[in-house]
Structure 1
Amino acid sequence: MSEDSKKIRQPIVTILGHIDHGKTSILDYIRGTLVQAREAAGITQHIGASFFPIKTILDFCGAKYQKMKIDIPGLLIVDTPGHAAFMNLRKRGGAVADIAILVIDLVSGSMPITWESVRILRERRVPFIIAANKIDLIPGWISEKNSDFLEQYEKQPDYVKQDIDKRIYQIIGDFYDEGFKGCERYDRIKDFTKNIAVVPTSAKTGEGISTLLMVLIGLIQQYLKKKIRFSEGPGKGVVLEVKQDEHIGTSLDCLLYDGIFRKNQPIVIGGLRSPIKTKIRALMIPNELDEIRDPENKFQQKDEIYAAAGIKILAPDISDVVAGAPLRAVGEDEDIDEIYKQIEEELEEIQIETDETGVVLKADTLGSLEAIVGLFSENKIKIRKASVGPISKRDIMEATAVRDYDPYNACVLAFNVKTLPDAEEEAINQGIRIFNNDVIYRLMEEFKEYYENRLEEEKNKVFSEIVLPGKAEIIPDFIFRRSHPVVCGVKILGGQLTPRTKLVNQEGDLIGRIKQVQKNNEPVEKAVRDEEVAISITNAVIGRNLKVDDTLYIAIPESHVRILRGKFRSELTEEQLEILIEYVKVMRKNHSPFWGM
């Protein structure tokens, strides 16, 4: 490594934005690899890191940039997944990033995930520029491959220019609404310390991509040189993923953001239960313009690696390492126990909460598992057990144990893993549903749809059989018959009255059974609040067990009350719940203080 290149390390750039807005497509256009095409559904599932040498960037950007004096050796770009599921991974990317590119679809505009990304960048104090992507989809836009944005913009008809300006100002307006004081198209900015630069791009045609890179590099050169000065101290990194490989065993994909890692150097890494002390057995780095998470060629082995780099580490005793955990090399003059203690404190933030009534969750890596747990927690999906690896018979048995608590949670949710043959057989025998998907948010959506549909089916079945609350009073001037059966007019005070249900009075005493409900001399199946109807009541006699001034309640069986006050409480209207509570108080006062419990 030359003395000049040691002075400044390559800056770490993270790319954030909503799903399908074009994050990986922008990278791929420059890199020319097929990572995007090979990813499930085009969504980047794991953090990847690509190093772009400055010569390659300048060659791509064209002749007019070749004479620029650029000190940075290149860019290390972390491609951060854009869906909300990747909150934790994005925080890791944001934590070590020097600068970020926020990709926004110029056609569809900002989305919820856009503002989640902005919030993370704000929290971490990471400067960013905006790539307003997909200019090629603007109606009437005349495209020219790899062109500079401004040069191509000047060739457009006036109506296209106006359309683009309008869309850019919509983005600018959104940022003003979010409290940003300065946001403008890059060529109109005089002070970049006070404004967020917006660079229109197309990942499909390459238009504006060279502009984006040069604006990014210009900002780094001007404002971030001090931040990216190289340190020759022991390496500091973060674990991106823990990988299992049948040839090399357990390995760690890491982002080295400061200092140096050396072969055979002692390191401390965050583990599942406690930090792990180990030693680097092999250091590997992908070829230039290749991704650490999806390399097409073999890794190169190195004796030492300088920041910043996306690297793979082989070391003994690392199977319990946690994705997202800090990674520290131990220098000759450093106390390994002190570093152990520092990492122990950082690890306290990484937790997976479980609930015995939840689903069984399986994933291909700890990073995926961590992301899914966060997403499930937000969506109130309970997890009984979460682990890495294929679905085993034991996992099916865990799910079977949930059936007594919540039959619809008795499922295994699997991300990107296989089901072992004996587990598949056990699942069929036990009737355990397995959901398997290689796109995280779709896995959640499939399960939620299943759970909600089953719950709705159960609710409809229960509500078709259950007696619902109702309250009424007799209209004294409309007593048509005093017994065998009583026929009188009533006003519904709340809830509903239906035929074939029993009535009690305000003392909780049984009056009789509603034989029929009539409205305008026509039989009806239900009468609701404020309606006045005629009802016939069997086994009732006015003046004996029924008084004209009685308050009438639908007699709800005690077992039905338990169901309504428990699992289906949220399905009742405020009015129904109020009458139910009133009815329970009547029954407890006159029968048993524990009635309905």
Structure 2
Amino acid sequence: MAEVTVKQLAESVGTPVDRLLKQMSDAGLPHKAESDAVSDDQKQTLLTYLKTSHGENSGSPKKITLKRKVTTQLKTGGGGRGKTVSIEVRKKRTYVKRDAAEGAEAPSQAEPTPAADSIASRRAEEDAKLEAARQRDAEEKAREEAARKETAEKEAAEPAAAEKKAKPEAKKAKAEPEEVDPKLAVAEAEAKMAKEDRTSDKKKHKTEKPIRVDDGPAADARKAGHKKGGKRAEVAQRSATGRGGNKHQQMLSALNEGEGFGRRRRPKKGHGKKRDHQFERPTAPVVREVQLGEAITVSDLAQQMSVKAAEVVKILFKMGVMVTVNQSIDQDTAILVIEEMGHKYTIVNENAMEDDVMEVTYEGEESPRAPVVTVMGHVDHGKTSLLDHIRRTRVTAGESGGITQHIGAYHVETGKGMITFLDTPGHEAFTAMRARGAQATDVVILVVAADDGVMPQTEEAIQHAKAAGVPIIVAINKMDKEGADPDRVINELAQREVIPEDWGGDTQFVKVSAHSGLGIDELLDGVLLQSEMLELKAHYEGPGKGVVVESSLDKGRGAVATVLVQSGRLSKGDVVLAGHFYGKVRALLDETGKQVEHAGPSIPVEILGLNGTPDAGDEFVVVDSERDAREVAEMRSERSKESMQAQQQAAKLDALFQGMGSDEQKNLNVVVKADVRGSLEAINASLQKLSTDEVKVNIVASGVGAISESDANLAITAGAVVFGFNVRATGKARQVIEQAGLDLRYYNVIYDLIDDVKAAMSGLLSPDLREEIVGLAEVRDVFNSPKFGQVAGCMVIEGTVYRNKKIRVLRDEVVIYEGELESLRRYKDDVQDVRQGMECGIGVKNYNDVKAGDKIEVFDVKEVARSIDD
């Protein structure tokens, strides 16, 4: 036979090339690639190795006996009287291996089984076929050698001929595996027994007869032959001997690879492999790394450490921190818990995404921008009137009580350039609003009335301006009044370290009159001069960025925010992130209500489209992606919520420890609704300042907009008073409030609201107890009475001694007893009081140690009402 390649040989025997190369390498053959040629001698060497590896020439066992015992239970009887009987079935089968030569020489030995005869006969036939094949291979080899020497052309055509001649070899290789090994027979018999065991389990009520030596797969095949014919008997025999158990899967795998013994079958998936456990208990503690931010909830901390939340709560309790699984703990406490449980931690920056969004980069050079001027001063010193004259409008007429209670932003065009004005209220309740105004401004105009001088809010405005590092221009207003005294104002401001330029300082002083327009041009010139000295510049191209001046909730337009652009350009359609809220700008409005398309640096505008009302002073920025804006806003809200929960928990604990051993603190619960966010913050701050150790103002809820039905229901639950500042209750809210009898009050001036809250808190204060001495009696002598015991004969030296009031016994001006009178007599009569200069007999209740010279002091305790101002 002609030489073939390794690939052709693998295809003819039906085995993979890689497996055949491995077997050839184990047999000592030099083949490494599928294109290497295989000669007839090498094929013979491979065949011999395969037979040897499968134990054909080794001393395999001649006889194998298999035993199996199955125990089952059977219930007999019924009606509660049945018995359980154990049934044991024992099986025994013996298999004998007989060689063909041994069977021919010693026929007198034990008669082989039909299965052994069949195996021996087939092996003899296969040996004869193998010998004939060897002879044919030798002849073919000789002819091939002669043909290779004749012509080179025949050598080129030789692979096709070799391929044709390889077919008989393949047929022969396929015929060779028909030989059955005794070990395979054992495995097949064992599988047959397993099948019968499963059948017997289904028929537990039947008993089985003993199994003889000649029972087994061969006998089954013989029985099938009697019924179905010889050919079908052979099929049954092959079917019976072709099954294997899990015990011999390695042998079956080798047979299926085409190594030549028995019938080739593919093993079932997963058989013959050792199954690994899906989970193994760790032998050492697992140290996990916890990602830790500024705060973390107990449940999240437990999840990252792969422990139960109850374990974390237990450790916190031992540390003196009482929390639940849903509450947040700070970073330091979390670090202690992590180290206590043997884990590691990594501090992560939770604000990385927020920092990326808020960081805006601009290209190009900066250009000069208009100054932002904040007008500050005391209430009723003429700030708004001054702006009124500049803008030629009447803002004061629209303010309640004649004072400004909102932050107003306006930009005006003057003959020398544009100026943006921020008008902040002067009332003390708006300290926080003035502080935000100072931080967002370039120049501060401090308005001081010439007839009033420096007031408390004037000093606060100076402090805010200095803290923000903003230059001040003093406008001495109301110069047209008869009582104007500008020198007094200058002297008072100089005492507050506001030195005019005439005195060698750096502050401009301008005398103006909002009524007549005196000094207005000089004031604007001073502002522009100061801005030139500051060299104010900003980028006009790029994403807009600035600060929120004011926000409110409009019934028809939704959330409206007044913003001041500080750099970049804010356009209609931009996605804006402001504090905890975001949204797409639907419209831009200037201070006159006209829509604009763009707003550059130093321009205040109103924006519509946010999903809420941001706090005044929050920074806003234009974001490229609405998704990023939403994620940052949600993260801020969640962080604010967690921080608030932590503060509430701390407040609860502080209140718990402070309240131990003391009287319970009284609370005045209020629900506050205002028209704009700035007013709401000012009201809340003012109310919280009114809290004392005895009475506390508890703001149950606050918000911007009308008083809704939910606000009324919340007030009912908390027993709160409802305050509306420049807003009114809806129809349903009024019905709920009337039905529940709640106290609903409307205000449009903030100090009226504060005065009413003071009065209500004064009613909750416990009154002061004041002692008043009403009489003093001196003991002259002591008598023994059979009815009252010791009776002191006294002389009233001061005031009046009363029978029903408390007394103190003084000895050498030291109180030795405090109690009550048991009797008060004058001569033999019981009296209610004895006046000064009269004698009387006094019996002290439960006290018998009164001596001559002691004094008996009679006093009265009176309750005096208190107020918050006390």
Same fold at TM > 0.5: yes
Answer yes or no: is 1:199 the counterpart of 2:510. Answer: yes
- Of 531, 543, 548, the match for 1:239: 548
Q: Which amino acid aligns with 2:569?
A: I
Partner of 1:23: 383
Partner of 2:70: none
Partner of 2:756: 446
Partner of 1:64: none
Partner of 1:155: none
Partner of 2:705: 389
Partner of 1:282: 586
Offset of residue 467 of structure 1: 8.7
Q: Which amino acid aligns with 2:513?
A: S
Alpha-carbon distance change, 569 to 129 in structure 1, aligned in 2, over 3 angstroms: closer
Partner of 2:568: 259
Partner of 1:376: 687
Alpha-carbon distance change, 340 to 22 in structure 1, aligned in 2, over 3 angstroms: same
Alpha-carbon distance change, 571 to 340 in structure 1, aligned in 2, over 3 angstroms: closer
Answer yes or no: is 1:110 the counterpart of 2:425. Answer: no
Alpha-carbon distance change, 502 to 255 in structure 1, aligned in 2, over 3 angstroms: same
Supply the distance in 1 between the matched residues of 2:703 and 2:711 (Cα, whole angstroms): 10
Answer yes or no: is 1:170 the counterpart of 2:488. Answer: yes
Q: Secondary structure at the match of 2:794?
A: strand
Aligned 8 A contact 2:475 2:512 in 1: yes
Offset of residue 218 of structure 1: 1.8
Supply the distance in 2 between the matched residues of 1:6 and 1:42 (Cα, whole angstroms): 42
Offset of residue 233 of structure 1: 3.8
Alpha-carbon distance change, 390 to 342 in structure 1, aligned in 2, over 3 angstroms: closer
Q: Which has the higher contact order (CA 8 A, sep 6+)?
A: 1
Partner of 1:310: 604
Offset of residue 540 of structure 1: 3.8
Alpha-carbon distance change, 516 to 442 in structure 1, aligned in 2, over 3 angstroms: same
CA RMSD of aligned residues (A): 4.4
Offset of residue 40 of structure 1: 1.1
Matches within 5 A, 1:261-410: 261-271=570-580, 276=581, 278-286=582-590, 292=591, 295=592, 298-302=593-597, 304-316=598-610, 318-319=611-612, 321-330=614-623, 357-380=668-691, 382-385=697-700, 386-400=702-716, 410=720
Partner of 1:412: 722
Partner of 2:778: 475
Deviations 1:54-103 (A, max 9, x none): xxx22xxxxxxxxxxx5xx4001011111111122111111110001111
Unaligned runs of 5+ in 1: 59-69, 140-163, 287-291, 404-409, 522-533, 573-597
Q: Secondary structure at the match of 1:41?
A: helix
Supply the distance in 1 between the matched residues of 2:770 and 2:526 (Cα, whole angstroms): 69
Answer yes or no: is 1:80 the counterpart of 2:424. Answer: yes
Partner of 1:210: 521
Aligned 8 A contact 2:759 2:867 in 1: no
Report the more deviating stretch, 539-548 or 323-332. Answer: 539-548
Q: Secondary structure at the match of 1:15?
A: strand
Aligned residues: 465
Offset of residue 213 of structure 1: 1.2
Offset of residue 319 of structure 1: 1.9
Alpha-carbon distance change, 250 to 474 in structure 1, aligned in 2, over 3 angstroms: same
Percent of aligned positions with the same letter in both sequences? 27
Deviations 1:424-451 (A, max 9, x none): 4554555433331111222212332454
Aligned 8 A contact 1:413 1:436 in 2: yes
What is the TM-score when the length of structure 1 is the normalising length?
0.66
Supply the distance in 1 between the matched residues of 2:538 and 2:384 (Cα, whole angstroms): 28
Supply the distance in 1 between the matched residues of 2:489 and 2:669 (Cα, whole angstroms): 41
Partner of 1:11: 371
Supply the distance in 2 between the matched residues of 1:545 and 1:455 (Cα, whole angstroms): 43
Alpha-carbon distance change, 49 to 482 in structure 1, aligned in 2, over 3 angstroms: farther
Alpha-carbon distance change, 541 to 508 in structure 1, aligned in 2, over 3 angstroms: closer
What is the TM-score when the length of structure 2 is the normalising length?
0.47
Alpha-carbon distance change, 284 to 546 in structure 1, aligned in 2, over 3 angstroms: same
Alpha-carbon distance change, 430 to 206 in structure 1, aligned in 2, over 3 angstroms: same
Larger Rg: 2
Aligned 8 A contact 2:378 2:448 in 1: yes
Supply the distance in 2 between the matched residues of 1:211 and 1:39 (Cα, whole angstroms): 28
Supply the distance in 1 between the matched residues of 2:842 and 2:466 (Cα, whole angstroms): 71
Q: Which amino acid aligns with 2:622?
A: A
Deviations 1:253-275 (A, max 9, x none): 2122222223333332212xxxx
Supply the distance in 1 between the matched residues of 2:804 and 2:783 (Cα, whole angstroms): 19
Supply the distance in 2 between the matched residues of 1:48 and 1:90 (Cα, whole angstroms): 12
Offset of residue 285 of structure 1: 2.8
Supply the distance in 1 between the matched residues of 2:713 and 2:840 (Cα, whole angstroms): 55
Q: Which amino acid aligns with 2:617?
A: G
Supply the distance in 2 between the matched residues of 1:243 and 1:37 (Cα, whole angstroms): 21
Alpha-carbon distance change, 489 to 455 in structure 1, aligned in 2, over 3 angstroms: farther
Aligned 8 A contact 1:103 1:133 in 2: yes
Supply the distance in 1 between the matched residues of 2:471 and 2:405 (Cα, whole angstroms): 24
Greater fraction helix: 2
Aligned 8 A contact 1:324 1:367 in 2: no
Deviations 1:308-360 (A, max 9, x none): 111111225x225333322122369x986997699789979x98999964322
Supply the distance in 2 between the matched residues of 1:490 and 1:237 (Cα, whole angstroms): 81
- Of 772, 783, 794, the match for 1:488: 794
Aligned 8 A contact 2:572 2:588 in 1: no
Alpha-carbon distance change, 38 to 497 in structure 1, aligned in 2, over 3 angstroms: farther
Deviations 1:381-436 (A, max 9, x none): 61332222323455445445566xxxxxx522221111234444554555433331
Supply the distance in 1 between the matched residues of 2:740 and 2:795 (Cα, whole angstroms): 55
Aligned 8 A contact 1:487 1:536 in 2: yes
Aligned 8 A contact 2:777 2:798 in 1: no
Q: Secondary structure at the match of 1:267?
A: strand
Alpha-carbon distance change, 535 to 571 in structure 1, aligned in 2, over 3 angstroms: farther
Alpha-carbon distance change, 472 to 569 in structure 1, aligned in 2, over 3 angstroms: farther
Aligned 8 A contact 2:546 2:564 in 1: yes
Aligned 8 A contact 2:820 2:844 in 1: no
Offset of residue 504 of structure 1: 6.2
Q: Which amino acid aligns with 1:440?
A: I
Matches within 5 A, 1:29-48: 29-48=389-408
Partner of 2:478: 134
Aligned 8 A contact 1:504 1:553 in 2: yes
Aligned 8 A contact 1:486 1:542 in 2: no
Alpha-carbon distance change, 443 to 544 in structure 1, aligned in 2, over 3 angstroms: closer
Q: Secondary structure at the match of 1:281?
A: strand
Deviations 1:210-262 (A, max 9, x none): 221112212222x111x334453422222233322333222222122222223
Partner of 2:500: 183
Aligned 8 A contact 1:84 1:113 in 2: yes
Q: Secondary structure at the match of 1:251?
A: strand
Q: Which amino acid aligns with 1:305?
A: A
